[in-house]
Chain A
Amino acid sequence: MGRNVTKSVRKLLLYAIMIVIAGMALAPLGWMVSASFMPTGQSSTFPPPFFPKQFTLDHYVTLFTRMNLARYLFNSAFLAISITVISLVVDSMAGYAFAKYRFRGRESIFKLLISSMVIPAQVTMLPLFLMLNKMGFINTYFGVIIPGMASIFGIFLIRQFALSIPDSYMEAARMDGASDFRIYWSLILPLCKPILITLAIFTFMGTWNDFLWPLIVMTDDSMYTLPVALANLSLEHVQDTELMMTGSVITIAPVLILFAAVQKYYISGIMAGGIKE
């Protein structure tokens, strides 16, 4: 009996702590959504309201009509989608080649790639900026897309996955007269589907959320991505709480919805990356 009581007390306590943490994790996001529907100035009253007293969509309208938000949304979506598609093709080709083709220097090139992963992105930014400047890609979509076209992490992930594909599959296909590209396209890619989906999600979200690089490359207002535009607006419109919350909602919503839809792949991707090290 006494044992059961202590067990339910412990259970209750555990739930209480977990609910408090969940509340703290979600409260800022909940408040952000809620404040985006408040009329201007309402969030700056005391005591601060958590829910809107009147419901308005004004700020959404303002952002799209006066603040050029559609353009930023397009820039963000265009860059994230094109980088995801291009890097998936490049990474899968390279990863497959590193796993299944024998060529001179394969191991040493792969080791070189892996060891260059320790170099933080910020270190390569200055030379990269100068290179792209020389090529005339500053303030263009290419300036963001070119550095994102391939990722070593992606090549690594796909190589590890492709290693588990038996050689006999490819030999059988070759016997049937399939070309190298055919084998890659109709055999390897379908087999790698799970890892490709995981990688696609990571790349899309990573590009969408990226800040420093687009901030450096995109110098013209019309080229800004959502995070860059939002950071800029928030420094100008410090007082306009509700408007800024609306901008944040629009920036965060696509990735949060995507995450909710494909949570399983995303979480398993992190777990795989964490264990393999």
Chain B
Amino acid sequence: MLSFTDFDIYSLANFANARIIWFKNYVELFQDPLFWKALKNTFYFLLVGGPLSIALSLAAALMLQSKLVRFKGLFRTAYFAPVVTTLVAVAVVWRFVYHPRYGILNYTLSLIGIGPVDWLGDPNWAMPAIILMAVWKNFGYNMIIFIAGLQNIPEELYEAASIDGARKLQPFWSITVPMLAPTTLFITIITMIGYFQLFAEPYVMTQGGPLNSTLSIVLLMYQRGFRWWNMGYSAAIAFVLFAIILVGGVAQSRTQRWVGT
């Protein structure tokens, strides 16, 4: 409802100061290039970071389930440690990791002959840098869910396959992938919804810059609503956010039915 009003700082004192302006906020929103930029950035983050994070968690889960490996608990704890850390604090840390001259990332890269990258200062690299950090932060979470999914696959299936003379990667494609489909779908959805709400990373690391290349939807909503106190406009952004997540959720439950879980 709020999104249909011109609710702002003056109305904060008295609600009666807000006027109903119906769809004007939405018209303004859809004509705002900054909104489209933020939407584009958020989808960039989600469509590149999401699959990357899921692929890495699956790989890590498969390695941790391998019979060849010992010290599983130790590796699992190491991979999971970033998940429990405070996002703001690690974003502060990563800002220095990304330092063009004194950051440990560029230094490590220089050892293998890759030139210095101005990670957070270059509009082309800022979003990849944020994606890298986000993947680092949360792949351990999905990894745990993948491990749970892998443990649910009956061992007999693999035994039967090896008796039937299945070759190296065959059991992976014919048993692991289909049996893991519901888990993968679940992970995809929670990751996408989580990634869509990108906020603290750009807030701490770039403030949306350079050249708005890391401005996300939620960051825009925060700036308009709680910095400029343009609550009506901000509510319109929130509603668009909700609509997109809702559409995603419905698409998910449809696919789930289609996959047959």
Contact = CB atoms under 8 A, between A and B. Distances in A.
B200 interface: yes
Contact of B63 (A14, A46, A266, A277): A14
Contacts of A43: 96, 102
Interface in B18-60: 60
Nearest to B69: A14
A151 to B, nearest CB: 16
B102 A44 contact: yes
Contacts of B129: none
A122 interface: yes
Contacts of B95: 234
A252 B79 contact: no
Interface stretch (B157-165, B169-177, B221-229): B221-229
Contacts of B238: 122-123, 125-126
A243 to B, nearest CB: 11
B199 A212 contact: yes
Interface of A is mostly: helix
A22 B245 contact: no
A48 B2 contact: no
A15 B69 contact: yes
Contacts of B187: 274
A123 B2 CA distance: 11
Most chain B CB inside 10 Å of its own CB: which residue of A17, A123, A209, A231: A123
A18 B245 CA distance: 35
B119 interface: no
A182 B4 CA distance: 49
Given A212-B200, A252-B89, A133 B12 contact: yes
Contacts of A120: 193, 196-197, 241-242, 245
Given A22-B78, A118-B245, A126-B225, A271 B86 contact: no
A123 B87 CA distance: 21
Nearest to B144: A270
A3 interface: no
Contacts of A277: 186
Contacts of A7: 68
A100 interface: no
Interface of B is mostly: helix
A225 to B, nearest CB: 10
Interface string A99-141: 0000000000000000000111111011101100100000000
Contact of A126 (B84, B149, B235): B235
B107 A270 contact: no
B239 A28 contact: no
B215 interface: no
Interface residues of A, number: 69
B251 interface: no
Contact of A28 (B87, B136, B140): B136
Interface in A1-37: 7, 10-11, 14-15, 17-18, 21-22, 24-29, 31-32, 35
A120 B238 CA distance: 9
Nearest to A272: B148
A230 B88 contact: yes
A18 B69 contact: yes
Contacts of A256: 81, 84-85
A274 B148 contact: yes
Contacts of A35: 96
A244 interface: yes
B259 interface: no
A263 interface: yes
The 10 closest A-B pairs by CB, nearest first: A274-B145, A227-B88, A271-B148, A248-B89, A251-B89, A22-B78, A259-B84, A123-B242, A123-B238, A44-B102
Given A251-B86, A270-B145, 19 more contacts: A7-B68, A14-B66, A18-B69, A18-B75, A25-B140, A28-B93, A28-B104, A44-B99, A119-B242, A122-B221, A122-B238, A133-B12, A211-B199, A230-B88, A234-B204, A256-B81, A270-B148, A274-B144, A274-B145
10 contacts: A17-B63, A18-B69, A18-B75, A21-B79, A29-B93, A120-B196, A133-B12, A255-B86, A256-B84, A274-B144
